[in-house]
Structures are given as structure tokens and as C-alpha cells.
A and B are shown apart, each in its own frame.
Chain A
Amino acid sequence: MSQKIGRSTLVLDTFPSIMSYASVVGKKEGEGPLARYFDAIFDDTTLGEKTWEKSESRMQKEAVSRALEKGGYATMQIDYIFAGDLLNQCISSHYGLRDLNIPFYGLYGACSTMAEGLSLASVFVDNNLAGFTMAATSSHFCSAERQFRLPLEYGGQRTPTSQWTATAAGSLVVGKSARPPFVKAVCGGTITDLGIKDINNMGAAMAPAAAQTIKTYLEDSHTGPQDYDLIVTGDLGLVGSELLIDLLKRDGIDISGVHNDCGKMLYDVEAQDVHAGGSGAGCSASVLCSYLLKKIEDGALKNVLFIATGALMSTTSFQQGESIPSIAHLVHLTYNRE
């Protein structure tokens, strides 16, 4: 049974295990520093489909299929899947997963979807509501650009604080097993908004949400940054990471020694010209479902806080001059069951 402690933390006392995971990425991500950890790299980012939306759907389906295949699971064995993405009405998940016949809960957490999905999937398993659950999400540079920004061929300029939406998808299976990685606890985020309105500076918009959730979890669990090998945020990028560290320092919490960010890890930020780093639901999902889970599985990392951050605005709210509300969900991953 999961137990609620503090403000918003659930301790999962059976330590649900991540049984299998897979990540698939596009060409640019495949040229980045994590290339060898991905299950598939699609040099043709259309994946042979006619529209970008179809390409993204295909990619999410690929990630789910590969996670099932790697663990040797049939779709019938999966009790529930928690999935979502960035496109309006989460069409990548709905179209990508419609043929799988797995009971489906759709999520919208923007780029925090993977942490949100993994949280719910783990809680379901921990409380014996399901034998096996899955979480999945995706993002695609081209489908995100046409929804949130400008046509791809338009010769506009990106500001230095803008982030590059990752063409990537990640998926994982949660169940009960004696094999790491384990989910020790989850901490649900609260919607945080410190008034940032610049849609090209998502890192700055999301950093307060991440700071809030990390602080809450450390308080709820009575731990400090020194208790973790890695505190990894979703996609704050260069600007957001710096702000996160500053924000937490104001509260006397120094995570600078153990912090990293998926938006900085997915790309070689300078050489690949991604300005302030990567973003998109697929960014943290693909880094988690490749490098991070592998390192925890191998015991190279033993105690990891994974905090995926999401910006919860829409193009309409942005055009109406609203600020950007953000959220961050936290999952505590461990190598040992203690």
C-alpha cells in the first residue's frame, strides 16, 4: 500500500519495478551524446508517414511496442497505459495507441507527462490495482513547431533562450520484480506561476515549479541533496537550470553538485545549435528510458530524483497575454529496495 507523507508525497512500500523500457528518437537526437543508449534512431523523421502528426503517433507506438517486446510482454498482459503528448487533444497518443487494445488513461502534463505517467503507473502497481502498467509519451520537433510556433520553412530567428523540441518518444512497463530500477516514492507537483510570459523562455517559466516540487519532496522525505547521486530535471535547459539552482539556494538547498537536466543531456548544446537546450515531452522521456534507467539498472546510479517539468500554456492563452503556469512531478528511483 502506498502511504501519503507530508504535503504531496506517496511512499510506495512494495517498490514497484521498471520491468522494461524503450526510447526511439529522430536524427538530430541520434547525433547527440546519448546516441548509443537509444533503441532506435530514425534518420527519416517522417517515419515514412504523410503528416508530422502521423510521424509522432508512429514514434510513440514504436516506443511502446519496443518496450513490450524487450520485456517479452503481450499487450493483453498490460492492465493500463498512462500516456499523453503535446499536441492538441493528445492526438499522438490517441492515434498512436488506438490499435493496441490496452486500457488507456490520457494525460496532459505537457513535458512533465513521463513523470506523471510513471507516478500513476507505479501507484497502481503498488496498490495491487494492476499487475503491469505502462507509461508513454512523445514529442516531435516538426509537429510541435507547426502547432506552437511558425512553419518549418519560415526563415525566422530563434531567441537565445528558446529550446529545441525533441523528436523522441519513451515508454516503460511497471510491475513487481526483484530487479532494479525501483520506484521508491512519487511527489505530485502543484501548478506554479511566477509571471513569465515569454513563450521562448520555457526554462525560466518552469524553474519555479521544479524548485517547488524538489523542496516539497526533500521536506516530506526528510532528506537533502547529499542523499542523491543525481537530481535530474526534465527540460529546463541552460537558463532554467541556472534559475532552479538559484531559487533553491534562496531556501538554503544547494543541488548544484548533483543536478543535471535532460534538456542539456540530450544534445551537445553548443555544437548542435539548440540554443538553451532540448525540450518537449519526448526529451525527458527518452533520456529516462535510455541512459538514466540503464545507469540505475547497472547500479552506477543508486538514488535518483527524476523531475519532469511541464509548461501548461496554450497558443491561445499565450496570444491573450497570459503568463505561463507550470508543473513538475517527481519520481524517486532507486537501485536498492530500502
Chain B
Amino acid sequence: MKLTPAEYSEMAKKASPGTKSYKTIPIAFLIGGLICMAGEGLINLYQYLGMDQETAGAVTSVTLIFLAALLTGLDLYNSIARFAGAGTLVPITGFSNGVVSPALEFKSEGLVLGLGAKLFVIAGPVIVYGISASIVYGLILYLFKLY
């Protein structure tokens, strides 16, 4: 069995089935799109109930975050996500699921060392690099406006 890692890597790649993108991408597009459409519907509904557009948008985000958290708690979100893929990951619902799921998972290690410490184990990197990117963007914007 004289085989270099590079040769084996080729072999392994050939034996490993790829993701069925022709199926997963349209499904993700469809489900993600449906979630966003529901969001639009909610904005319209809240505006109809008398909110201005900005408030309606914020309340819609809160509603979607709540629904995703609820579905996560009921152990339904991951079943939907198994089918929907990135469709449930990309919208704001995915972020909610990313925070609620470690909260549920790690509560067995206690409220401080478990839930508290591990709450952002998934969302943490998104927040850190999201904020970092916005600072860089802000700086660039500031420098451009100086001249």
C-alpha cells in the first residue's frame, strides 16, 4: 500500500459523493424566499395596524426571531432545516436558532458555565466579525468623507 497522501486524497475525493446542489440550492432558494416573503407580509400587516415602516420592520424581525426560537425549543426547527438547508440558515431565523440551540444544549452544565458561557458558541464568530467588518467599513466611509 505505497500511497502518498496526495494520491489518497484524490481517491477519497472520487469516492465521496458531493452535495446534490441541483436539489439543495433550489430548495434553499424556495424556503429562504418563503421566509422573506412571510417577513414582507408581516411588515405590511404591521403597517396596516398603524405602525410606520421602520417600526414595522423592527417588529417583523422580532416576530421572526421569536418564531424561530419557539420552533427550536419545540425541536422542530432542525427538522425543517434538514430539508431547507441554507434556506433556514441565512435569514434572521437561522441566527435565532444558532443562539437558542446552544442555550438548550448546554444548560445541563449550569446557567453560568453552561448556558451563559456557551450561548454564543455558534453566533459568536458572526457577531465578532460582523462588528469588526462594520468598524472597518465605518472607517473607510469616514476617511472618504474627509476629502
Contacts and interface: CB of A to CB of B under 8 A. Distances in A.
Bind each other = yes
Interface of A: 50-52, 146, 150-157, 159-161, 194-196, 201, 204, 208, 211-212, 215, 239, 242-243, 246-247, 250-251, 273, 276, 323
Contact of A204 (B6, B12, B98, B105): B12
Contacts of B17: 160-161, 239, 276
A124 B69 CA distance: 54
Contact of B18 (A160, A204, A211): A160
Interface string B1-35: 10101101101100111111000000000000000
Contacts of B60: none
Contacts of A212: 1
Given A155-B77, A204-B16, A247-B3, A195 B101 contact: no
A155 B108 contact: no
A215 B1 contact: yes
Nearest to A245: B15
A159 B19 contact: yes
B8 A155 contact: no
A211 B12 CA distance: 14
Interface of B: 1, 3, 5-6, 8-9, 11-12, 15-20, 72-73, 75, 77-78, 80-82, 84-86, 88-89, 94, 97-98, 100-102, 104-106, 108, 121-122
Contacts of B121: 151
A58 to B, nearest CB: 15
Given A151-B102, A201-B12, 7 more contacts: A151-B104, A154-B78, A155-B88, A156-B81, A195-B8, A246-B11, A273-B82
Contact of B94 (A151, A155, A159, A247): A155
Contacts of B101: 150-155
Max count, chain B CB within 10 A of own CB: residue among A150, A194, A196, A215: A194
Nearest to B81: A155
A155 B82 contact: yes
Contacts of A155: 72, 77-78, 80-82, 84, 88-89, 94, 97, 101
Contacts of A157: 81-82, 85-86, 89
State the 9 A-B residue pairs at the shortest beta-carbon distance, nearest first: A155-B81, A195-B5, A151-B105, A153-B101, A154-B101, A151-B101, A204-B12, A194-B8, A160-B17
B144 to A, nearest CB: 38
Nearest to B98: A154
Nearest to B73: A153
A323 B122 CA distance: 23
A146 B108 CA distance: 11
Main secondary structure of the interface of B (DSSP, over half): helix
B76 to A, nearest CB: 9
B15 A246 contact: yes
B81 A251 contact: no
B126 to A, nearest CB: 13
Contacts of A159: 19
B75 to A, nearest CB: 6
Contacts of A243: 11-12, 15
B1 A239 contact: no
A103 B78 CA distance: 43
19 contacts: A52-B108, A150-B122, A153-B97, A155-B77, A155-B84, A155-B88, A156-B81, A159-B19, A160-B16, A194-B8, A195-B5, A196-B9, A204-B16, A239-B15, A239-B17, A242-B15, A243-B15, A246-B11, A250-B3
Nearest to A240: B15
B93 to A, nearest CB: 9
B15 to A, nearest CB: 5
B16 A201 contact: yes
B1 A211 contact: yes
A212 B2 CA distance: 11
Contact of B77 (A153, A161, A201, A215): A153
Nearest to B79: A155
B122 A154 contact: yes
Nearest to B8: A194
A308 B82 CA distance: 30
B114 to A, nearest CB: 10
Contact of B19 (A160, A201, A246, A247): A160
